[in-house]
Chain A
Amino acid sequence: MRIVAFDDGKLGVVANDETVVDVTDLLQQFDPLGAADLLPDLITHFDELRPELDRKVAAGGGKPLAQVKLNSPLTRPAKIVCLMGNYREGTDRPLQILDLFFKSPEGIAGPGDTVVLPPHQADIFHHEAELAVVIGREAKDLADAEAMDAVFGYVVYNDISARGLGRTGINSFLGKSFDTFALFGPWIVTKDEIPDPQALHVTVDVNGERRQDYSTSDMERPVSELMTYISSVTTLHPGDVICCGTNHQGLGSVQDGDAMVTAVSGIGSFTVHIRDEHERAWQRGIDRAAGERVKAAAQHPVAQVSGRTG
């Protein structure tokens, strides 16, 4: 099943790849405080709602997809958990230590929206296409066997990243937390439709030019391991989202006037536009130097003093 947010405050289900069936009314029974509660309520009560949702989809009706304004399917998650570099990227090395950071949930934007580059003097603004996992239930200290039970579904993510800000260079993550820098779309696909999250194809096209192009089979830590590790740190809630990291081979700049399409096979694709009041310009095309830097850094990771390795 595909869950969409649309027309600025409604939640719906996509029927036959063509229409959007509005289920906002169905969710009023849970007494939402605002639009941000609709998705967590739907997820929390999904099993009991599913027969009614299936019936509504089967009954047809709804609005053609082309006639609604899609929004980020995640309206305002309580947590956006992001993995640091989690792909092998052609290197032949032992597993890196798992690490993560949190991104500002105020950064949410979605299909058709505009990424606004801030005036900050970043070295460059990169796209980072990722597979993201939407949490299905409250979860802490998940065991290996139940890790995937706590997944609700999957969504396409693009982690816009301003480089070179803050104090700690490549290890500063504040440049990822600007407003409009957390792109989710086009809808959430429930996990029953994605039999293997480690066999999905992720792409980014900027103005029609292919940039990132990789498979989630290259992930160092698969989704199930991310679930157990992250839940050993922090309690996860329905509607929280885990972004699985990107493959940096194929990164490039985003700049004023760009139209960018992010896609994951089995889920879908969505387009956003880039605006920069300062009309800064960077070299177009793939930033190969950035890709090489990440590979080299990964070959010589900072030695861990101690700690769990996953």
Chain B
Amino acid sequence: MRLVLTRDERIGVELDGGMIDVSAAFADIRYRTSADRMPRVMAVLHERRTDLERMAANGAPSAMPALQAPVPRPPKLIAAFGNYREGAERERQTQDMFLESPDSVIGSGDSVVLPNHPAPIFHHEAELALVIGQRAKDLPADERALAALAGYTCAIDVSARGLGRIGPSRIGKSFDTFTPLGPAIVTIDEIPDPQNLHVTLAVNGEPRQDYSTRDMEYSVVEILAYISSFMTLVPGDVIMCGTNHQGLGALQDGDQVTMMIEDVGTLSVAVRDPQRRAWPRGIDQDMADRQRAVGVS
């Protein structure tokens, strides 16, 4: 099942490219904003599955309306550090993660707005994202961990480089609009193997990132086990599994970005830069080589 949230606050199931409104299945959930509402919807998604399937089977899909992010302001937005082998032959690196501002999330069809901070470059980082469906602590590093998930979605971890004090500073990933997320939450039953998904990202139709989640150093269940050994996960939390840096490139004013994960969805955003700065177009090969070298050492 593929769950979406429309800009006019309806909850829908995506079917044959259209949408069936299933808001009625969640009518008992009190909320004030979509930010309050979607974590509560995530928490009951599994138990209401039968109702939702019945509504979807009996409804006629209407054209897909404009969407917002399926979790517009997650309780926590967690990101894995470089978590792909990227062609390097080496021991696994130590696992590490950090939190980003949940206010950075936007939806498919929205615009990334580059801030007036003098970053040397703004990169796209296409990532598989996990959406939590159950409160969870100390999950095991095996298939049982997947029960904590509501599902999967696409994320672009937009990254301003060179800001802050420390080498890989994370502040440049937390600007407002820097985490496009969506379009749908795809429940775990639709993805038999999360370690065999094809991720691509193109800018203005030119291919940039193109990799498989097979190359992850730490798998989805290992990520869940690790982060939940630190902190309690709650419904609506979003965990980004890291990117493969081979194929990163600049984002700049006027760009149209399309990210796809096979069987998960297509996420499209525009880029706006009020300062109209310009960077070389195409893949940033220096960045790719640097990342590979760091991984090896």
Contacts and interface: CB of A to CB of B under 8 A. Distances in A.
Given A167-B81, A168-B81, A234-B104, A174 B97 contact: yes
A307 B118 contact: yes
B20 to A, nearest CB: 27
Interface centre among A31, A167, A233 (most CB of B within 10 A): A233
Contacts of B6: none
A58 interface: no
B180 to A, nearest CB: 16
A120 B225 CA distance: 13
A207 interface: no
A102 B164 contact: no
Interface size class of A (residues with CB under 8 A): 35 or more
A99 to B, nearest CB: 4
Interface string B127-141: 000000000010000
B116 to A, nearest CB: 8
Contacts of B161: 305
Interface stretch (B28-36, B195-203, B260-268): B28-36
Contact of A174 (B76, B96, B168): B96
B283 interface: no
Interface residues of B, number: 46
Contacts of B73: 78
B98 A178 contact: no
B167 A78 contact: no
Contacts of A107: 231
A105 interface: yes
A176 to B, nearest CB: 9
B234 A106 contact: yes
B34 to A, nearest CB: 13
B174 A178 contact: no
Contact of A178 (B36, B76, B162, B230): B230
B170 A101 contact: yes
A90 interface: no
B120 A305 contact: yes
Interface string B159-171: 0011111111111
A177 B230 contact: yes
B76 A105 contact: yes
Contacts of A120: 229-230
B61 interface: no
Given A167-B93, A233-B101, A98 B32 contact: no
B176 A140 contact: yes
A232 interface: yes
A118 B166 CA distance: 27
Given A33-B30, A305-B120, A306-B118, A102 B166 contact: no
A79 B101 contact: yes
Contacts of B273: none
B118 to A, nearest CB: 6
A123 to B, nearest CB: 14
Interface string B27-55: 00011100010000000000000000000
Interface string B226-237: 000111101000
A235 interface: yes
A100 interface: yes
A301 interface: yes
Interface in A194-210: none
Interface string A89-119: 0000000111111111111000000000010
Contacts of A294: none
B24 interface: no
Interface in A278-310: 301-302, 304-308
Contacts of B167: 168, 171, 302
B211 interface: no
Contacts of A178: 230-231
Contacts of B118: 306-308
B95 interface: yes
B248 to A, nearest CB: 16
A178 B226 CA distance: 12
Interface string A25-52: 0000001010000000000000000000
Nearest to B226: A174
8 contacts: A31-B32, A79-B101, A106-B234, A168-B168, A233-B115, A233-B117, A234-B101, A307-B117
Interface of A: 31, 33, 78-79, 84, 96-107, 118, 120, 140, 166-168, 171-174, 177-179, 232-235, 237, 301-302, 304-308
Nearest 10 interchain pairs by C-beta = A166-B96, A167-B96, A99-B165, A99-B164, A102-B99, A234-B101, A307-B163, A104-B231, A167-B94, A305-B162
Given A118-B230, A177-B230, 15 more contacts: A79-B101, A79-B102, A84-B166, A99-B169, A102-B101, A103-B99, A105-B76, A107-B231, A120-B230, A168-B167, A171-B166, A174-B97, A233-B101, A233-B117, A306-B120
